[in-house]
């Protein structure tokens, strides 16, 4: 009998409940569809390994975000900080190779997010998810006041990154 | 469009995302049954393997002591081999402990990123040390292995091969240093920059 087999059912339920969290993290950190699938599986495996020690002091979603982001970052060791092409198959259907005529500004912004350093990308993802500053701080391991400061800086950075793409 | 507007769009598409991805229980069961390992798991497996190799080598060395006694050169080679292999064994145990402490569920993301960069730095420095000490340990192990396999005095052959070995070793050192300058030192610089970025992120 595999270890922790009695936990299989609660684990599957947890993943099914919060599955979109994993997909969103994959969308931000995996470049291609195949990478998306691999990363999804890696995250599920890591969550399964960590599940017996999950003490429920943290919210399930906070715990899963932490695992998903840590797995994504650990898989990117070689290219740490070197962003991949942003690919969000769920939110941006049929991402075109070139920017559309009269650029779709949301697409431009997604691309700009994809070019941020990996920790900034994690912060943006949590921000888009409408997480509270306290929860973002807990997941990321930074102070609540730092979350606000960082988000402010990222907004400026995104504006600077997106503007040249819009002007193209 | 700014980040605030994107946030609204993101929230609106939440429902469609939920409907698009419905992974079934059977697929999840097969995922967690797989023995495939993640990046950290692969590194741990490599460390377990090299620890086992060091342990085996130490065992062979200690079991072979009677063959080396009486010859000062062989005893010196034995001591060097044991010291370097023992250091490698201890270093591997440290790395295993470091990797085992990386808890994906409990370590905050910024801390994890910092630890992973520190580990990358450790690995690069380990490779550099390995390149320098590699020939030393090989030079110490070869006469011991010769004695065990052939039974005669390995230092009789030193006169024959000594000069060529010394020249080869010097050439190896020069090439290694040139290689380091091109690859490893640049990598170290970039890792240190990343570490600085991460530390700045946390403050």
Residues A68, A25: contact at Cβ < 8 Å? yes
User: What's the rounded Cα separation, in Å, for the pair A156 and B67?
Assistant: 72
Q: Is B111 on the interface with A (CB under 8 A)?
A: yes
Number of domains in chain A: 1
In degrees, rounded to 5, the angle at the alpha carbon of residue B46 between the alpha carbons of residues B45 and B52 is 90
User: What's the rounded Cα separation, in Å, for the pair A15 and A18?
Assistant: 5
**Contacting residues of A for B3, CB less than 8 Å apart:** 109, 124, 127-128, 154-155, 158
User: What's the rounded Cα separation, in Å, for the pair B173 and B117?
Assistant: 27
CB A54 to CB B105 under 8 A?
yes
pLDDT of residue B202: 78
Point out the residues of chain B with pLDDT beneath 70. Answer: 1, 13-23, 35-38, 160-161, 180-185
Residues B79, B136: contact at Cβ < 8 Å? no
* A 71-130 residues with CB < 8 A to B: 71, 73-75, 77, 80-81, 90-91, 105-106, 108-110, 117-120, 122, 124, 127-130
Pairs from A54-62 (Cβ < 8 Å, separation ≥ 24): A54/B105, A58/A138, A59/A135, A60/A14, A60/A17, A60/A18, A61/A18, A61/A21, A62/A135, A62/A138, A62/A139
For chain B, domain boundaries: 37-202
pLDDT 10s per residue in chain A (168 long)? 455 677 888 899 899 888 888 988 888 888 777 788 888 888 998 899 889 888 777 789 999 999 999 998 887 644 443 334 333 433 333 333 333 344 466 677 777 888 888 899 999 999 988 899 999 999 999 999 999 999 999 988 888 877 776 666
Identify the sign of the CA torsion B118, A152, B9, A104: negative
pLDDT of residue A110: 76
User: What's the rounded Cα separation, in Å, for the pair A45 and B36?
Assistant: 9
Domain extent for A12: 5-167
Which pLDDT tens digit goes with each residue over B43-78?
888 899 999 999 999 999 999 988 888 888 889 999
Other CB atoms within a 10 A radius of the CB of residue B178 amount to 10
* A 20-49 residues with CB < 8 A to B: 20, 23-24, 41-42, 44-49
Residue in the block written with tokens 């701080």 = A137
pLDDT of residue A92: 36
Other CB atoms within a 10 A radius of the CB of residue A108 amount to 21
The number of residues making up chain B comes to 203
pLDDT of residue A81: 39
- Alpha carbon distances (Å) from B16 to A18, B13, B19, B130: 14, 5, 5, 53
């Amino acid at each position: 009998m595999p270890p922790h087999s009695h936990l299989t059912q609660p684990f599957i339920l947890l993943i099914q409940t919060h599955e979109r969290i994993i997909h969103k993290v994959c969308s931000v950190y995996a470049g291609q569809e195949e990478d998306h699938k691999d990363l999804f599986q890696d995250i599920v495996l890591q969550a399964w390994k960590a599940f017996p020690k999950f003490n429920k002091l943290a919210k399930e979603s906070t715990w899963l975000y932490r695992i998903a982001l840590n797995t994504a970052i650990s898989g990117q060791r070689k290219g740490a900080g070197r962003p991949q092409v942003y690919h969000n198959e769920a939110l941006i259907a049929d991402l075109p190779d070139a920017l559309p005529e009269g650029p779709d500004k949301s697409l431009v912004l997604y691309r700009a997010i994809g070019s941020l350093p990996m920790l900034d990308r994690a912060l943006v993802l949590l921000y888009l998810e409408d997480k509270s500053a306290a929860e973002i701080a807990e997941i990321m391991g930074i102070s609540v006041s730092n979350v606000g400061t960082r988000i402010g800086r990222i907004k400026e950075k995104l504006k600077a990154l997106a503007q040249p793409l819009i002007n193209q | 469009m700014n980040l605030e507007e994107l946030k609204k769009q993101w929230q609106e598409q939440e429902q469609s995302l939920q409907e698009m991805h419905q992974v079934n229980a059977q697929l999840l069961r097969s995922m967690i049954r797989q023995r495939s390992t993640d990046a950290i798991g692969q590194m741990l497996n490599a460390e377990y393997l090299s620890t086992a190799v060091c342990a085996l080598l130490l065992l062979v060395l200690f079991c072979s002591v009677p063959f080396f006694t009486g010859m000062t050169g062989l005893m010196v080679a034995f001591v060097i081999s044991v010291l370097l292999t023992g250091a490698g064994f201890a270093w591997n145990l440290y790395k295993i402990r470091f990797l085992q402490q990386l808890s994906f569920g409990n370590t905050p993301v910024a801390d994890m990123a910092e630890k992973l960069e520190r580990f990358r730095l450790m690995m690069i420095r380990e490779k550099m040390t390995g390149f320098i000490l590699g020939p030393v340990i090989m030079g110490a192990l070869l006469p011991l292995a010769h004695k065990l396999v052939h039974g005669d005095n390995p230092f009789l052959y030193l006169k024959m091969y000594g000069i060529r070995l010394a020249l080869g070793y010097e050439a190896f050192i020069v090439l290694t240093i040139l290689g380091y300058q091109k690859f490893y030192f640049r990598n170290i610089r970039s890792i240190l920059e990343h570490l600085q970025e991460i530390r700045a992120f946390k403050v």
